[in-house]
Structure 1
Amino acid sequence: MSAIDNPDLEVDILRDVGALAARLPEWAERAVVGTAYFAVPAALTAVVLLAWLAVRRHPDAPQAVAAVAWSALAAVVAFLVNIPIRGFVARPRPFEDHPDAVTVLTGGHGTPTGYSFVSDHASVAMAVAVGLFLVHRGLGAAACGLALVQGFTQVLMGVHYPTDVIGGFALGTAVALLLAPLAMAVLTPLARRCGRSRRLRRLVVARPGADEGADGGSPEPAGRSGERDGAEHPVAKQRGLAA
């Protein structure tokens, strides 16, 4: 498929952002690249781990842990789904089509190759963020902020168009939301089984009585536990996911 036609507005944005990038000193360029490729992925990983530690205290811990696990798996699924999309759209990188408007920041890591639409980094980051928001709104909001930073750095480095980033956000959101019921149907029984295992129990529950739901008991209503622990439960009406 031929490359997406670029509206004048998008090229104007590239030119403005490129002018900003051109004024950055070398240390700032390295900081931007390091943020995009290392700091944001590391921070997202830390947020997922924090969510896992938090939800293990829930009375319905197996279901909550399954939702956190889905937030990580959703990133992998979004990356895989994007592979055929990139090949089908075949959009060149902005520095290839508009070298006069784009300043490429590499930070010594080399210029990216491959097609531009959609941004892998944006789709993966947003998939994690939306997946976490389903189970823990506070940490999910923090992850959304990190995803926005990730998207901006991709444009600032000159490796993606703004619409590449927007498309990545849409793809990550769609994967995390639309596949969540199927994922939870598979992951929740696995988490409950781990909760009954002496060796694996600590992966799912953090304290005695937290896995009542795993043993067939009735878990505490989501709203009450969410108020006590400060985290949302992965229970949505008729779906088993948190709002």
Structure 2
Amino acid sequence: MLRGRLFLMESETDPYSLRALLQWQIDCGADEAILDAPVDRYALEAKPPPPVPAMPGAAEAVPESPVSAAGPDPVAEARLMADAAQDLPALAAAIAAFPHCELQKGARSMVFADGQAEARLMIVGEAPGREEDRIGRPFVGQAGQLLDRMLAAIGMARDAARPEDAVYITNVLPWRPPGNRTPEPAEIAMMLPFLERHVALAKPDILVLMGNTPCQAILGRTGITRIRGQWTEALGIPVLPMFHPAYLLRQPLAKREAWADLLALKSRLMTGAST
């Protein structure tokens, strides 16, 4: 921060330098200006009031026993809340009310899903990025635009009228991790019951897992360069791991493998998911 301030003082009349400094800060993850000094907002949560001293001669109060020495189980609570949701709007409301994922405290939006819920194809990504967090829809940034072009190449779209041509899209995490970092195992575990219920309610014929994080969540495996293109089964339906579009933007040569996976996906949809 000191280096940035000195640079600003030296070039405060140079708009090109100011823009370069702003872009550098955005690349570092500082994409929102709030105050001049950082504030730990987690430390600003309301604290319980101090205990009231007992009056002389009063009987000593017996403290209540805690429900559990380790506190509430986020995964078990997520499972109960997810199983209680009977439709997709109820599931979205349950996720919004889930109190144990700290990511929602720093996110602008809860990114639930996009596309046609009746679609035969459901795509699961990792987590919202900056644009997704701003708009509230999954895959709307550069990676999302590439995904739309990939789907269009095989005659599919998230806004297609026919279920056989439509796509339904969600993520493992509904909130953006700070700085677009990789989701932590504890975050994946507590949100997995909601994702599994999401798939059960949407009832797709085929599930595409884009990137390592959804493969870790659904399949318990990582190493997308090894497992991509290999059909498997999870949650009772066929599953195809594929490269995430963000990876393809960084590694354009991998688009050849992605095209092969798209053709295999299209063939599976045309011949029937059960074959």
Specify if TM > 0.5: no
Choose 1 or 2 for highest CA Rg: 2
> Is the strand fraction higher in 1 or 2?
2
TM-score range, shorter chain: under 0.3
Relative to the length of structure 1, the TM-score reads 0.27
Which one has more relative contact order, counting CA pairs under 8 Å at least 6 apart?
1
Relative to the length of structure 2, the TM-score reads 0.24
